[in-house]
Amino acid sequence: MKTVQIKTPGAFRRFLNWLDVSSSKRRLERELSKSLIEISTLIGKDALREAGSLWAKNSRQLLDQAEQHRLYGRIDTAWHSLKTARRWALYGLYHQDITVFNSQALSIFREGTAKKIDSAWRRNTIKDLLTLDGKKFEPISTANDIGKAFIAQLILDDYQDNIYEKSYILQRRLIFLDVAAGIAIAGWIALAPRLHEMAVLPEKMPVRLLWLGIVVAGFIGAVTSGFTRSLVSSGSKARIPEQMAEIYISLARLFVGAVSAIGITLILLSGLLNLERVLSLGVIFAVAFISGFTEKLLQNAIEKTVSKAEKTGPEAEEQAENYVNQPIEQAGQAPHAIEKTVSKPEKDEPE
């Protein structure tokens, strides 16, 4: 049987592969190793029964291609080759053991028609392929119908690939925003606008060190939020692509916390709210921490500030001032006040 000649990559490519510790690569290595044994066993038994089967030739070549792509770091392409090899292996599985084949087809049916599949046309197509009445799975009894399981698995694989592609796009976007936020934060600290010229602060502190402290307070708030959310969602049933994206979301939350800390400080000290108080550094750092803990504090503060700018009269001014005064006052109280401040704006977040 003709196979693909696997070329060994150079030292630099092997070094890059060693640096790649992604979950997708680890899963690929496990699945490829397992599939190589399973499909090779099917091919060996098929060779005793019938020489030169099309499915055996295709599966063998696709497995070799998957290994070649893996060695050169083309992980997504390797996954496509591996999944296609598995689909072709359904033909060999049918001829070897029809009972095991129908168990696999039933697994495809159950996964493809589950409620978690949010594509109605995919669910309905899989039902049409593997049922007679659109409800109950119908075992495949003739070789001519093997293609139904093949197409059903193809539809399911395509759906899963789309999920991973969306996750990949989200990860690239978050990385770009993280880099942009990092540059903006570094530039802001380098320029170091003078807070003491914006508001009367009783404590004297180097300007850059002051802004750095505000950024760090926002980081700490974001880290605290990340820990609490991770503990709450540790037992969630989120799919693997969602859990992979969560790493990038957690990293982005750190930069959001730092930017929010800068933004909320500017709003407090800009004079837009006409705060009748002398703000201490402790209060500024506390509010920076809270803004890092919950992203909605800055968002709501901006909305209230814009609302005040659009409206006129003492009532609008008092409403905007009280909204920001409330978390400032609570920040100086007992620790549970922070949780109380955060819980209210986060109620509207989807689960």
> Over the Cα atoms of the chain, what is R_g?
29
State how far the Cα of 231 lies from the Cα of 224, in Å rounded to an integer.
11
> What is the per-residue pLDDT for 345?
43
Can you say how many angstroms the Cα of residue 155 is from the centroid of all Cα atoms in its chain? 23
| DSSP letter for each residue of 273-307 | T---S---HHHHHHHHHHHHH-THHHHHHHHHHHH
* Nearest C-alpha neighbor of 39 from the set 58, 20, 11: 58
* Nearest C-alpha neighbor of 214 from the set 263, 275, 273: 263
**CB under 8 A, 24+ apart: contacts of 246-253:** 248/170, 248/171, 248/174, 248/175, 249/174, 250/226, 251/174, 251/178, 252/174, 252/177, 252/178, 253/222, 253/225, 253/226, 253/295
Site of tokens 């969306």: 166
For 205, phi and psi rounded to 5 degrees?
A: -155, 140
Task: Provide the 8-state DSSP code for 137.
Answer: B
| Tens digit of pLDDT at every position of the chain (351 positions) | 555 677 888 888 888 878 887 888 889 999 999 999 999 888 887 665 555 588 988 999 999 999 999 999 999 999 999 999 999 999 999 988 899 999 999 999 999 998 888 889 999 999 999 998 778 899 998 888 999 999 999 999 999 899 888 888 888 888 998 999 999 888 888 887 665 555 555 556 777 888 888 899 999 988 888 887 777 665 556 666 667 777 788 888 888 888 888 888 887 777 665 555 556 777 788 888 888 887 666 666 666 655 655 555 455 445 545 544 554 444 444 334 434 443 444 444 433
> What is the per-residue pLDDT for 170?
87
Going from N- to C-terminal start, the domains of the chain cover 1-96, 192-348
pTM of the model: 0.68
> What is the per-residue pLDDT for 91?
92
Residue pair 211/192 in contact by the 8 Å Cβ criterion: yes
Interior angle at CA 319, CA 316 and CA 320, nearest 5:
90
> What is the per-residue pLDDT for 21?
75
State how far the Cα of 79 lies from the Cα of 85, in Å rounded to an integer.
10
CB atoms within 10 A of CB 174: 19
* Nearest C-alpha neighbor of 348 from the set 295, 307, 306, 292: 295
